């Protein structure tokens, strides 16, 4: 039990990724986004499932948003909904 508390204290004391690590991850995510453009719908669905992606539709002050989270995100990310009307 004591070792678990020590491990938890160490994890909580960690400030998380530094700005350079965040920038590097964001650059990698941008590369992945570009590559995903070539995936068919089945491959895109597989990526979403593997990341255990959760999407929650939010209506706030007359606007529609989706809060998106996955195993890579600690907190959900809010995205505006853009409707493509043809």
Q: 6 with 31, same domain?
A: yes
- Give the predicted TM-score (pTM) of the model: 0.43
Q: What is the pLDDT of residue 3?
A: 81
Q: 31 with 9, same domain?
A: yes
- Residue 45 in any domain: the answer is no
Q: 56 with 86, same domain?
A: yes
Q: How far apart are CA 57 and CA 64, in angstroms?
A: 7
pLDDT tens profile 71-86 = 766 666 666 666 665 5
Number of structural domains, the chain?
A: 2
Q: 34 with 63, same domain?
A: no
Q: Domain range holding 31?
A: 1-38
Q: 28 with 5, same domain?
A: yes
Q: 5 with 31, same domain?
A: yes
- Per-residue pLDDT band at 48 (split at 50, 70, 90): confident
């Amino acid at each position: 039990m004591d070792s678990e508390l020590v491990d938890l204290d160490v994890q909580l004391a960690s400030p998380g990724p530094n700005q350079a690590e965040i920038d590097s991850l964001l650059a990698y995510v941008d590369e992945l986004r570009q590559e995903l453009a070539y995936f068919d719908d089945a491959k895109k669905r597989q990526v979403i499932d593997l990341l255990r992606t959760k999407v929650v539709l939010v209506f706030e002050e007359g606007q529609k948003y989706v809060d998106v989270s996955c195993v890579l995100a600690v907190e959900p990310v809010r995205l505006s909904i853009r409707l493509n009307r043809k």
